[in-house]
Amino acid sequence: MSTSPDPVVRAPLDVVIRTVPKRGNAAEENEDSAAGDAEGGRFAVADGASTTARSEVWSAMLAESFVNGEDPLADDVLTRLRRDWWARVNELDLAWHAKAKLAGGAAATFLGVVVEADRYALSSVGDSCMLHLAEQKLLSAAPLTEWSAFSRFPEAVHTRSDIAVSPAEIRSVSGTLSEGDVLLLATDAVAKHLLRHHSETGALPPILDHLADEDEFADFIERERERGLDNDDSTVCVVWT
């Protein structure tokens, strides 16, 4: 008599989120967002486009929607999120030039990852990336695999209904996990820097050793900026399996 294999049972996931604004900017000017639910196995980062209006609100809405169990790239969810974004930012006492900028909408890259037992699945738009690590060694990266693939104008999710997310812009990747693997979700500046350092040296900077608190991570980011990390909002959501 055949029997089905026992399901894979994992220890609870651990997650740490760290973020540092662009040098010279205050914390409230940080347009990156990250969210995580270790119990539910859902994690996300989003990077608001600085050239658009109130993109920090939009990036937070995308990340939180995913972690709360939704798919922010689905048409019905995206329609509601767009409507909610407008309701949050359209204040009656805004100056005319601020209202004019709001009319152009917001945009953000997005990356969401679901972890279930020994598998992960990610969906993304733009250049926020996930690096899969084992014993601090890089196994894979997605959706971008080379630092040279990053650009100034990545694909993004827009609040404007006339700028749709096309199926070709949505990247989906899945894979298997071994116990102790780490998934490092990062917005573009950090992801690009890590991949460039790996390309040049065969190893990653010791980012996992500098997550104990916000100050230690901020010091690490400042040192890496002196070594070529772009001066941009820098955010990671690190998941230990």
CATH number at residue 18: 3.60.40.10
Q: Within the chain, where are the H helices?
A: 55-67, 75-89, 96-103, 188-201, 214-225
Mean pLDDT over 59-79 rounds to 98
Tell me: pLDDT of 13 over 50: yes
Q: How many CB atoms lie within 10 A of CB 197?
A: 19
Residues above pLDDT 90, as percent of the chain:
89
In this prediction, residues 207-219 reach a mean pLDDT of 97
On whether residue 167 sits in a domain, the answer given is yes
| Residue 8 within any structural domain of the chain | no
Are the C-beta atoms of residues 160 and 81 closer than 8 Å to each other? no
pLDDT classification of 80: cutoffs 50, 70, 90 = very high
Torsion, Cα 133 138 139 143, to 10 degrees, reads 90
| Edge-first strand listing for the sheet containing 234-240 | 14-20, 234-240, 182-186, 129-134, 137-142
- The answer to whether the CB of 78 falls within 8 A of the CB of 131 is no
- For residue 98, the enclosing domain spans 14-240
| pLDDT number for residue 103 | 87
Assessment of whether the complete model's pTM goes beyond 0.85: yes
pLDDT of residue 236 exceeding 80, the answer is: yes
DSSP state of 31: -
- Whole-number Å distance between alpha carbons of 37 and 18: 15
Residue 101 domain-assigned?
yes
| Structural domains in the chain (count) | 1
What's the pLDDT band for 11 if we cut at 50, 70, 90? Answer: low
How confident is the model at residue 94, as a pLDDT? 77
Is 133 a domain residue?
A: yes
Residue 5 confidence (pLDDT) above 70? no
pLDDT band of 188, cuts 50, 70, 90: very high
Confidence band for 1, pLDDT divided at 50, 70 and 90: very low
Residue 1 lies in a domain: no
